[in-house]
Every structure is written in C-alpha cells, then in structure tokens.
Amino acid sequence: MEQLVVSPSPHLHARANTASIMRDVLIALSPAVVVSLVFYGWSELLLLGVCVLSCLLTEALIEKYLMKAPVTIADGSAAVTAVLLALNLPAGCPWWVAVIGSVFAIGVVKMTFGGLGQNIFNPAIAARVFLLVSFPSQMTAWARPASIASAWSLSPVDAVSGATPLGVVSEGLRAGLPLDQIFAENGFSYAQMLLVNLGGSAGELSAVALLAGFVYLLARKVIKPTTTLSIWLTILGVSGIFYLYNPSAYTDPVFNLLTGGVLLGSIFMATDYVTSPMSRTGCIIFGFGIGLQTMLIRYFGAYPEGMSFAILLMNAFVPLINRYCHQPKYGRA
Amino acid sequence: MDNKFTFRIGGVHPADRKLSRDCAIEVLPLPEKVSVSMAQHLGAPAKPVVAPGDRVKTGQVIAEPAGFVSAFVHSPVTGTVTAVASKADLAGKMVMHIDIDVEKDEWAEGIDLTPELVTPLPDDKQLILDRIKAAGVVGLGGATFPTHIKLCPPPGKTAEYLIINGAECEPYLTSDYRMMLERPREILIGAALMQKVLGGPKCIAAVEDNKPEAVESLKDALHFLQLFSKDYENIEIRVLKKKYPQGGEKQLIDAVTGRQVKSMGLPIDAGAVVQNVATSFAVYEAVQKKKPLLTNVLSVTGDCLPPERQHNYLFRIGIPLRYIAQVAGGVPEEAVKIVSGGPMMGKAIANLDATTVKGSSSLLYLSAKQTLRREEGPCIRCGKCAQACPMGLEPFLLKKLAEVGDQQALEQNAVQDCLECGCCQYTCPAYLPLLDTIRIAKADVLNLIKSRPKN
C-alpha cells in the first residue's frame, strides 16, 4: 500500500517567505550601505558590524535563555533592524551607542512584545529616538571625514565636524538669517542632495541609492508604494503651502523631501509590515500622519528634523487605523 | 491588449504548469469492474433503482434523484450489478456505490452514438430542460450542481448573461482546454441550447489569455456555426487576463459583466448564469444526442511525470483511480500527494480505490518539494493574504477570530463569503495554515446563519 500525503487545499505555495522577504529588504538597503561605507570608511564599517552583531546576539540570547524558544535569527528580521539602525546613526558615533541602541531595539522594542510580528513600534526607529533623547550630543555630532582617502586611512585622521542641512537651516533661521542666504552660504544644491550629501545619518547620504532600493522593493513586490507616496505627497503639499506663504522663512518642498531621513524613513521604516496598516486606506492615512507631523516638527518644533518622531507616533495609531480601515469586500458595496 | 478583462479584487498568479496541454484526448479503456458513486452531484445522493443480479446497459438509469437538488445516474458500462453498498470515496467518506461487472459496451436504445454534429436546436424549451435533467447533467466546473436547476431561475429573476466558463484558472489542469480545442462546435451548440432555455440572454464564452489556441478554436467554431443559423448571433468569445481564481463564478461574473453577486446571493441575483465548457458539451450530448452524462475528460499530470507520460483521458464514471494510474504507467516515485482537481482547490486523494465521478478533472501527482508544508512562522502582518483574497476578506483577522472562537465577529468580517480558493494560504510568507482555520470557522458560521428563523 502506497503512503499518500493527505491535507486540505491549497496544495501549492508561492515561493516568497519571511526569510526571502527580509533578504529582499537587505538587498534593497545594500546601495545605501555601500555608499555609506565608501564615504565614511572604517567608522561606518565598525558601526554596521557592531549593530548586526549586537542585534543578532540580543535576539538569540533572549530567545534561548529568557523565552526558552527556538532561535529565529535566521529569518533575517533582526539583521534588517540592525542595518536600519546603523544607517540611522551619525557616522562616527561611538560604538557603545550603537550597542545600546541595538539592545534597546531588539531587547525592549521587539522581544518584550513577543518577537517578530508582535511589536507595536518599529525597532530601529524606536531605538533611534531613544538614543536621540538619551545621548543628544553623540547623536547630533555629525562628524565627517575630509575625504574618501581619509575615511579609509588606517591612521586616525581628524574628522571635519559638520551639520545636517536641516540643522544648518534651523540654526540660521534662529539667527535671523533669510533662507536664500543660508542656502547660498552653505552651498546647498539639489543635485548634491540627490547624489552624495555628506553630513547627517549614514543612510541619508545618497537619495539615489535609497531610491534604487525603493524601485527594487516595488519590483519584487515586497511593498506597495502607497505609504511612501502618501508621505512624500503630504510633505510636498504641507511644505508647499508654507513655502508659498513665506519662502524666506519656510524651506521649500523638494529640500524637505530630500533631507532629514525622509527617504530612508518613508521607504524602509514606515513600510515595515509589522508596524504599518494593512489596508490601502490605512496606509494613506498613516503616510499622511507621518508627513504632516514631520513638517510640523520641522517648522515649529524644537528638533530640526522629525521623521523618526512622526513614524514612531503613527506606529502607535496603527491598531486603531486597522480597526476602522478595511479593504472593499466583494459584493458588499 | 492592456485593457483585458479580469476581476477587480485580489487574486494570485501561480505558474501555469499546463504540462499536458498538447496531449490529445485519448479514450480510456474500460476496466473489468466499475463502481458508480451515488454522490456525483451537489445535493441529495441519488437513490439506486437496480439490485444485485440486474443486468444493465450502457446509458441506462441506475439511480434516480432523491430530492429537488439531485440528479440521475446512468450505468457507464454493460454488465451485471454485483453490489449496491457503501464504499469509501476518494477522501475516505462512506458513500453508496453500485458495483457492476463489465461484460461489454452495448448502449441503451435511443442514444445517438454517431459522430455527426447536430446543429438545429429544438424549439421546445421544456424539451431541452427535460433532456438535460434526464441525462443527469451537472456542473463540471467543480461544484457539480445539477444543471437543469441552474437553468430555471427563481420567479422574478431573469438571466441577462450566460457565461460559458473556459477560464480553467487552476495550474496543471488541461481538460477544459483540450475540449475547447477538440470539441468547440459542440460546446457552442450546448451554449446556444442553454441560452435558449434561459430566454436568450447575452452569451459570453470567457477564456484566459494563456490559452490563445482555445480562443482561436472557439472563434473558428463560432464563425462556422453562424453560417448555418441565426441561433449563434448572440454569442461572444471574450479573452480574460490570466489570474487565479478567475474560474470562480463570482470572479468570472465580475470580470465579464463588471457586476458583483451580493454576499450570500446567487449569480442569478446579478443576472448571470455561469456554466463550464465541459458542462456545455454535456448539454449538447444530452439534448442533441440524447446521451446521458457518463463521460468526461481528466488530465493525468504533474511535475513528476515526463512529457510522454502526461495524458488527457476521456473517462467513464465509476472507474477506479488506481486503474487509471496503472493505464497511465503507474504512480511516479517522487509523487507524495495525488490530487483530484487543481492544486489550489482540489482534494488530496486518500484512497486510490475510489472511482471517477462526473466532475473528476485530474489525477495530479505532486512532489514533496512542491506540496509538503513548511514550518509555520509568526504572522509578520504583511497583509499579503488580504491583498490576495478575491473576496476582499482579511484572512489574518479571520484566523485570529477563529482561534478565539468569536463567531459574531467572524460573521461581521464576512467569513461566510470565503470561497476557499486558497489564495491566502498560497501567498502567506509565514506558511500559516490560514484556510485550514478559516474553513472550519466558515462552516460553523454558516450553520449558525442557517439555524436562524427566517422572517
């Protein structure tokens, strides 16, 4: 008598699984990682290594010794958190900050809620905000190497201290300078922001690299463009209104889109499956909330940027959004 | 080519794998014994009208409908009835069967066995309906609902569309495709007959764009028939963009007419009647040839079979599946699961001694790599299941609600609308058994709905 397997339908499965999706996200992040390594050199490699090691280790240790459950670091989700966190730190930030951030991201934000799929907040974003309020000086010391050669030089070279474009603008406005003068003095240009923009988090370095990742994620159908586009349009819209109202006091829409981690956040962090809404309508509302809060913080808040706060706040609304936003059902219009 | 029709909500794109598409239909030789199931249709199992020792001819009635929703069953062979008893069907469920020792193949009187195409349609609608009913025709697209009932809309409802379902959206299956290539004229005559019974609705034969040869074949046949008669003026061949589950009634109606059937409603509520191409062929044979439904086409296919061992067989009902497997060269080594029907909605066979029924469509061999389930992971809330659901449901939510047994919330979230098409489970990156859980919850909620007093 032959042995036949009997189980209910369906008898086939699409090839994509959790690990392959996480792998796709890592591939999508790779252009940004490569660019940051090229320009920030050893210090960036150190941060990346520290983040990956401590994230994986934290998850493995918690699963093994606290939860007494199978270790699931092979699914790649901790690695994604690690790379995102590394890209969210200022280049040259001390390695122990990265360790604390990683332990917080995985240990507190992810595992205390039950691990993958259970967390309310995006671990990397929550860790970044946690570090920003805990270690403000380390987290806003935007050191940058004088050149690519010095970034990869084995002997320590003095780093040039810098500031993010948003920080420069914020400071300039406080000093009572008009915007066009600030832009002119600092030599800001859109082309530079698109290609290589030194200063800021490692992941904000190159808009083009991030956009390449976005295209890859869309092509592989890992994410839908809804959330990301909703954020972009809201930021363009809100800053557009303010810019038209007073162009010398409020930064312009394109500048706001290209700076302060908007691309990194909108492509890779706000689209995190676990902490974003399920339905299309939900994603539009979620993106609108993020865009609006980002702009309000930038124009009226104490912090020059605001993307991470906005994502974190909107993460908290996701269960509520999911409760009220559903996709249209067949035959129930 | 871009604005091809398809349904609007959800759906997935499993690879085609129509490996047996180029295998012409072969007539399956008769075995020594057949065993005919009384439950070949949706509704009450038929009531046997023969007893052990009776001699029966091919095409003779051996069981009668046992209720409004039920159908005649005819002897597929000529021989002696040896037993009328309960036996396990392919899933192991006990069903009444009539066993017959095969002696020869002598058909009952009045059945036209000539190959000539009969094109003139009878004028009398009732005659057409009576012949369909007498021939035991049931829907061959999967549900096996008695066709004559579907062709009599309830009072106050009229059919505006008759949709002939040639979507065959399940991977692997090619029986409908072969029928569309080899018997397109008969299929269209059957369609015209049903169109006549329904009072002349617009008839649209819908085929997915992965079967261009079938589209051409039907178009040629339509031109040919239109030369003879005006009866075929109001028939259209429609190409649909390939997407699973397009062959589902509700999805097909949406794709073809842009209408949706309301929840818990019937297609006729949206003014549509859907019939499969194989059903249409059976209607042709029933009405034009007075031939009862005792044959159908089945694909023997699967990745584990080399091209020369792929087959499409014209089989009779009551033939043991094991016999078909042997005729086709035996069960391949790599096969761990044999499915009757498509890989998305078909049933895994537990018992190869079960026999073919009117609606059998395949013997599908699946390898371990393809079909064995992987270890479940945690839900990552990606929402892919909800995007894939062709009914717009939220499988992740339904599964959670089912696990806590909240029937009220399950009903509010429309678990009863689930088609059991399997898109959610197919697409879930965490390998969660979404449909397993939802299927059980759906049955419970449907029972709850049925138990309520009607106002």
**In terms of Cα–Cα distance, which of A95, A86, A85, A87 is closest to A138?**
A95
Question: Are B134 and B239 in the same domain?
Answer: yes
Report which residue type is found at A37: L
The enclosing domain of B135 has a CATH number of 3.40.50.11540
What mean pLDDT comes out for the span A179-205? 75
Contact A10 B250 (CB under 8 A): no
Q: Give CA–CA dist B427/A174, Å, rounded.
A: 53
Report pLDDT for A1: 45
> Which position has the token pair 């907040």?
A121
H or E element in which residue A296 lies: helix A280-300
Residues B249 and B388 in one domain: no
Question: Which phi and psi (to 5°) does residue A192 adopt?
Answer: -65, -40
Q: Which residues contact B233 (CB under 8 A, 6 or more apart)?
A: B226
Is the four-CA dihedral B215, B217, B223, B225 of positive or negative sign? negative
For position A333, what pLDDT does the model report? 74
Give residue for tokens 């818990």: B264
Read off the pLDDT of each residue in B315-343 and give the average, rounded to a whole number: 95
pLDDT-derived band at A170, boundaries 50, 70, 90: confident
Mean pLDDT of A213-238: 96
Identify the three-state secondary structure at position B311: strand
Residue B106: band (very low, low, confident or very high) from pLDDT cuts 50, 70, 90: very high
Q: Indicate whether A39 pLDDT > 90.
A: no
Same domain for B140 and B244, yes or no, is yes
Note whether B186 and B282 are same-domain residues. yes
Count of the separate structural domains present in chain B: 3
Confidence class of residue B3 from pLDDT cuts 50, 70 and 90? low
B-interface mutation test, from A3, A5, A280, A318, most B Cβ less than 10 A away: A5
Host domain of residue B340: 31-106+294-370
Same domain, B165 and B253: yes
Distance (Å, rounded) from C-alpha A138 to C-alpha A131? Answer: 9
d(CA B223, CA B90): 42
Residue A7 has pLDDT above 50, yes or no: yes
At B263-303, the pLDDT tens digits run 999 999 999 999 999 999 999 999 999 999 999 999 999 99
Q: A262 with A238: CB under 8 angstroms? A: no
For residue B453, the one-letter residue type is P
pLDDT above 90 for B395: yes
pLDDT confidence band for B1 (50 / 70 / 90): very low
Q: Which amino acid, A330? A: Y
- Whether residue B1 is contained in a domain is answered as no
Q: Is residue B175 part of a domain?
A: yes
Percent of chain B with pLDDT over 90: 94
**B406 with B360, same domain?**
no
Please check the confidence at residue A151 and state whether its pLDDT lies above 90: no
Low-confidence winner among A158-162, A222-226, B232-236 (lowest mean pLDDT): A158-162
Mapping DSSP to helix (H, G, I), strand (E, B) and coil, where does residue A163 land?
Answer: coil
Give B48-92 pLDDT, tens digit per residue: 999 999 999 999 999 999 999 999 999 999 999 999 999 999 888
**How many angstroms separate the CA of residue A227 from the nearest CA in chain B?**
13
B341 and B421 inside one domain: no
Question: Predicted confidence band at A248 (pLDDT cuts at 50, 70, 90)?
Answer: confident
B117 three-state secondary structure: coil
Q: Hey, is the C-beta of B353 within 8 angstroms of any chain A C-beta?
A: no
Best mutation target among B6, B93, B371, B381 (most A Cβ atoms within 10 Å) is: B381
Binary contact (A330, B254; C-beta < 8 A): yes
Kindly state whether residues B184 and B50 are assigned to the same domain.
Answer: no
Q: How many angstroms separate the CA atoms of A217 and B235, rounded?
A: 44
pLDDT at A26 over 90: yes
pLDDT tens digits for range B331-357: 999 999 999 999 999 999 999 999 999
| A274 chain-B contacts, CB cut-off 8 A | 380-381
Q: What is the pLDDT of residue A2?
A: 64
Q: How far is A262 from chain B (nearest CA, A)?
A: 22
- Collapsing DSSP to helix, strand or coil, A188 comes out as coil
- Tell me the pLDDT of chain A averaged across its residues: 89
Domain boundary among B272, B288, B304: B288
For A266-297, how does the pLDDT look when each residue is reduced to its tens digit (9 = 90+)? Answer: 999 999 999 999 999 999 999 999 999 999 99
Based on the fold, state whether residues B365 and B390 are members of the same structural domain: no
Buried residues in A5-32 as b, exposed as e (16+ CB within 10 A) = beeebbbbbbebbbeebbbbbbebbebb
Give the tens place of pLDDT for each residue, A173-189: 878 888 888 877 777 77
Interior angle at CA B138, CA B264 and CA B235, nearest 5: 85
Inform me whether the pLDDT recorded for A198 exceeds 80.
Answer: no
Round to whole Å and give the CA distance between A42 and A163: 20
Q: Which residue has the higher pLDDT, A249 or A53?
A: A53
* Band (A304; pLDDT cuts 50, 70, 90): confident
Q: How far is B389 from chain A (nearest CA, A)?
A: 9
A72 touches chain B (CB under 8 A): yes
